Copies of this chain bind each other. A is one copy, B any other.
Amino acid sequence: MYSPDASGVIRRTGRIPDTIPGISRFHQSTLHQGRIERHLLDSIAKVSDMRIKVERPIMPESITLDESKVNDPDAYPVTVVLRYLSEDEATPTQFGHKVENGLFRSSLATAEEEDSMYRLPEGAEPGQIETVHAKYVIGCDGGHSWTRRQLGINMVGEQTDYIWGVIDVIPETDFPDVRGRCAIHSANSGSIMVIPREDDLVRFYIQLPETAAAGQRVDKTKFTSERIVEAARKIIAPYSFNVGRMDWFTAYHIGQRVAEKFSRDERIFIAGDACHTHSPKAGQGMNASMMDTWNLGWKLGLVLLGRADPSILKTYESERRPFAQDLIDFDHKLSRAFSAKPKAGQAGVEDGVDPEEFKRNFEIGNEFASGTIINYPASVLIAKEESAPKASRPEQLAKNIAVGKRFKSHQVTRHAEGVAVQIGDLLYMNGAFRIFLFAGDVTNPAQMERIFQFADYLDSENSVVSRYTPAGHKRDHAIEVITVHANNLEQVDMHDFPAPALYPAYDYKKIYADCPTYHDGCGNVYENYGIDPAVGCLVVVRPDGYVALVADIDDHAALDEYFGAFLKVPAQPVGRNTEPDWTFIAEEKKQRRLAAKSQQPKHAVQPIVPGPAKVGVTA
């Protein structure tokens, strides 16, 4: 953080961590959008076996929705007419010239690949018209979204007065913190944000001396790169500032707006900048936008596969729109603070920005950027139990796990290998829900008996696994069960757990321990999640990694109710698990269990009955 001292010269006034320590195992990092696009394109090619291609030089002409068919799952109610562009039309211009534009150019594509992105499919002619009939359409078409305008959805919000320039350059400067992310507030020349990038590049957001009246459209052509660099030079003085190489530049006028609606009849959706526009400085644009389609993607996937009821699509807007509104409100506050004059040391500037408050805002921005601030509201997909009496709330089983928030990653030990693994890495994003069985201290026979009863439930005809897994798939296809016990590797063996329910044959990735490792310490997951090892619990995690439900280990009915509300029973479910315990100590386990059953449980666990519709199963 740089602010002017008493004599008006900028000085470093403080440092804060770019990422709040402990908020995540990942740190904040700047990443070229082209790298993300590369990952997405490669992944699309791989997953679709090269069948799905991203076609660029094609524009929509019209979109219509046949409202009579929106409730028919087999119908294709959306009609889109597409027009194939000529090369001239397909190559965007910037400032009147055909300057390459960093916002859509991928730095990781070869020249041929880049050319091919703007070439028409083989045999297609410029001007050709194609009509597409679709079940669903998602418009991810940016701040000036054509889709949004076709749907007549309004943007709500306003525009700031300030105009900013952006340059991606290799700077020649003796400003010593140019390789750190910096906020520089000059006394009278405006502000700069410094964001170091790859390959010695640095992005500078530079406040320009010009302002625009509300509603006034800014003529961007007058903001040349020379004018932007000149503005930077004034702000960063007395340090030198020259440009070694300029990779890209632009100028923008901040608008902070949210779309009134995010879909039409849950058949045509808009996502990303089409739904919300804000200042680019907090790195929210790509993050918030990817989270939109991330939220929508798995829901659409399950609906299209016939595995979930289309009603879950309503949660896209109910989950993402409130978040977008919060983000815009915060951005409104932050960007005004950034463009305003600094307060510190400035005689006569009483309405300026307090550097301390500015720092606090930066920290909140961190929670937005990391997504940890998100708390989705109660819905068919988020089983919040706020109405239940406090003592019997399932959330009390895991005091630090909030239903509706991201399932935070902590380290566990993979029992079969003794190596440290992050729970986040167990959440393969393959459309499956996960039930984490926090089995607790299973050296207590009564607790282990509860685990065996849960396994009996899973293997039974009517468990959520047996009902919702289509025949022909592995039992972890739709709902994967992962066990995390609270013992160390000397106290309990994988063989001690019920097989095949929790320990399927030759599958070494289903059982984890909360215990120390040789090299990576201990994750202390029970402590971190606030779970009592004497009791344990179940945590249901959605395919996108958000916590959907916390329930008692014995509360099988809670699982039945949660999944029953939106999952569809397939034509042929996989049904009861008929495989026997495959481990060589199967007989020993049976004997131990019989002995345990004859004892009174040490921890008499009361089943939790959250509502009248649910029936607890007693241990």
1/0 per position for A391-427, CB-CB distance to B under 8 A?
Answer: 0000000000000000000000010111000000000
Q: Are A176 and B417 in contact (CB under 8 A)?
A: no
User: How far, in angstroms, from A171 to B416 measured CA to CA in the complex?
Assistant: 14
Segment at the interface with B among A14-22, A59-67, A376-384? A14-22
CB-CB under 8 A from A490, the residues of chain B are 15
Q: Are A176 and B493 in contact (CB under 8 A)?
A: yes
CB-CB under 8 A from A176, the residues of chain B are 416, 493-495
Given the known inter-chain contacts A180-B417, A584-B238, please indicate yes or no for A519 contacting B19, CB distance below 8 A: yes
Which of A178, A239, A505, A506 has most B Cβ within 10 Å?
A: A506
Report A230-249 residues with CB < 8 Å from chain B CB.
238-240, 244
Given the known inter-chain contacts A17-B519, A19-B519, A27-B519, please indicate yes or no for A583 contacting B417, CB distance below 8 A: no
User: How far, in angstroms, from A173 to B582 measured CA to CA in the complex?
Assistant: 10
Q: Which of B21, B519, B583 contacts A174 (CB 8 A)?
A: B583
Q: Are A15 and B196 in contact (CB under 8 A)?
A: no
Which of A171, A414, A489 has most B Cβ within 10 Å?
A: A489
Q: Are A240 and B196 in contact (CB under 8 A)?
A: no
Q: Is A333 an interface position by the 8 A CB rule?
A: no
User: How far, in angstroms, from A21 to B521 measured CA to CA in the complex?
Assistant: 11
CB-CB under 8 A from A418, the residues of chain B are 15, 180
Closest CB of chain B to A92's CB: distance in Å?
Answer: 33
1/0 per position for A270-304, CB-CB distance to B under 8 A?
Answer: 00000000000000000000000000000000000
Nearest to A240 among chain B residues (CB) is: B584
The 5 closest A-B pairs by CB, nearest first: A17-B518, A179-B416, A179-B508, A174-B583, A179-B417
Binding site for B on A (CB under 8 A): 15, 17-19, 21, 27, 170-174, 176-180, 196, 238-240, 244, 414, 416-418, 489-490, 493-495, 505-506, 508, 518-519, 582-584
User: How far, in angstroms, from A180 to B179 measured CA to CA in the complex?
Assistant: 43
User: How far, in angstroms, from A17 to B420 measured CA to CA in the complex?
Assistant: 13
Q: Are A416 and B180 in contact (CB under 8 A)?
A: yes
How many copies of this chain? 2
CB-CB under 8 A from A170, the residues of chain B are 506
Nearest to A414 among chain B residues (CB) is: B179
Q: Are B518 and A582 in contact (CB under 8 A)?
A: no
User: How far, in angstroms, from A180 to B196 measured CA to CA in the complex?
Assistant: 42
Which of A244, A416, A582 has most B Cβ within 10 Å?
A: A416
* Contact sample, A vs B, 14 pairs, CB 8 Å cutoff: A15-B490, A17-B518, A19-B519, A27-B519, A170-B506, A173-B506, A174-B582, A176-B416, A176-B493, A177-B416, A178-B508, A179-B416, A180-B416, A196-B417
CB-CB under 8 A from A417, the residues of chain B are 179-180, 196
Q: Are B584 and A506 in contact (CB under 8 A)?
A: no
User: How far, in angstroms, from A210 to B17 measured CA to CA in the complex?
Assistant: 64
User: How far, in angstroms, from A295 to B508 measured CA to CA in the complex?
Assistant: 40
User: How far, in angstroms, from A414 to B174 measured CA to CA in the complex?
Assistant: 17
Q: Which of B27, B172, B506 contacts A506 (CB 8 A)?
A: B172
CB-CB under 8 A from A180, the residues of chain B are 416-418
CB-CB under 8 A from A174, the residues of chain B are 495, 582-584
CB-CB under 8 A from A489, the residues of chain B are 15
Nearest to A24 among chain B residues (CB) is: B519
Q: Which of B15, B21, B238, B518 contacts A519 (CB 8 A)?
A: B21
User: How far, in angstroms, from A177 to B490 measured CA to CA in the complex?
Assistant: 12
CB-CB under 8 A from A414, the residues of chain B are 179
CB-CB under 8 A from A505, the residues of chain B are 172
Nearest to A244 among chain B residues (CB) is: B506
User: How far, in angstroms, from A372 to B196 measured CA to CA in the complex?
Assistant: 36
User: How far, in angstroms, from A584 to B584 measured CA to CA in the complex?
Assistant: 75
Closest CB of chain B to A494's CB: distance in Å?
Answer: 5
CB-CB under 8 A from A239, the residues of chain B are 584
Closest CB of chain B to A135's CB: distance in Å?
Answer: 37
CB-CB under 8 A from A172, the residues of chain B are 505-506
